[in-house]
Amino acid sequence: MLYKSVRYITYRSTKEFQYGTGKNNYINSLFEFYEPLLTKKQANYIELYYADDYSLGEIAGEYSVSRQAVYDNIRRSEKILQQYEDKLELIP
């Protein structure tokens, strides 16, 4: 579960980072480690959004879905990645 404040996003594992580069790096590190545990679509969306810096609209156009569908899938994937890390604690 994500806890939001005005300046920070704090994950249950008490890892804090500011919006921007910190979040991208954190999600990229989770993705790099836990990618095989995601579905192909989840992995593609996360890779396009975080690694390749695509916008929600660009990803939606590539897959012929709505921006909201892409947004929901990315948020759900982030949550799944964080749950894996909370349970397994494999990333230093």
**What is the pTM assigned to this prediction?**
0.75
Q: Give the CATH number, domain containing residue 25.
A: 1.10.10.10
Residues 6+ apart with CB under 8 A from 56: 49, 67, 70, 71, 74
pLDDT tens-digit profile of 17-71?
Answer: 444 568 888 999 999 999 999 999 999 999 999 999 999 999 999 999 999 999 9
* 8 A C-beta contact, residue 39 and residue 47: no
How many separate domains does the chain show? 1
- Using CA atoms, how far apart are residues 71 and 58, in angstroms rounded to an integer? 12
Residue 9 CB-density burial (10 A; 0-12 exposed, 13-18 middle, 19+ buried): middle
Question: Which residues span the domain enclosing 42?
Answer: 21-88
